[in-house]
């Protein structure tokens, strides 16, 4: 279920199979815990680099998803996994 919380924010509630699917698409294996943060950015490559410079571990480089977005995954030093996504429409701008 994806709930719109404003023009730039969503709350996504996944069951275990959907969470496993997203992990598989972004990272190639099941890696996330019960909570994963996703941030919409203008440039996924730049944002992933900023996270890395701040000490996050890069789990997957930005890559095109079947739904059109460009997603990367990082894990912060405290263990929170973050999907950094560049919406398909942002890539066309």
* Spatial CA neighbour of 63 closest among 84, 80, 33: 84
What total number of domains does the chain contain? Answer: 1
Residue 30 domain-assigned (yes or no):
no
Q: How far is CA 22 from CA 6, 27, 85, 93, in A?
A: 23, 8, 12, 25
Residue 52 domain-assigned (yes or no):
yes
Tokens describing residue 3:
């709930």
Q: Which domain holds residue 65?
A: 35-93
Q: What is the pLDDT along the chain (93 residues), one digit of tens a residue?
A: 777 777 766 778 888 898 899 999 999 999 988 888 888 899 999 999 999 999 999 999 999 999 899 999 999 999 989 999 998 875 544
Burial degree of 77 (CB within 10 A; 0-12, 13-18, 19+): exposed
Residue 44 domain-assigned (yes or no):
yes
CATH classification at residue 74: 3.10.180.10
Q: Which pTM does this prediction carry? A: 0.79
Residue 74 domain-assigned (yes or no):
yes
Residue 7 domain-assigned (yes or no):
no
Bridge partners of residue 64, in order along the sequence: 70
Residue 87 domain-assigned (yes or no):
yes
Residue 71 domain-assigned (yes or no):
yes
Tokens describing residue 16:
């275990």
Residue 53 domain-assigned (yes or no):
yes
Bridge partners of residue 84, in order along the sequence: 39, 72
């Amino acid at each position: 279920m994806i709930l719109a919380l404003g023009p730039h924010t969503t709350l996504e509630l996944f069951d275990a199979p959907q969470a496993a699917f997203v992990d598989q698409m972004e990272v190639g294996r099941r890696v996330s815990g019960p909570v994963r943060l996703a941030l919409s950015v203008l440039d996924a490559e730049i944002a992933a680099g900023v996270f890395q410079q701040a000490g996050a571990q890069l789990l997957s480089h930005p890559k095109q998803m079947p739904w059109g977005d460009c997603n990367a995954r990082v894990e912060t030093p405290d263990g929170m996994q973050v999907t950094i996504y560049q919406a398909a429409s942002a890539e066309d701008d």
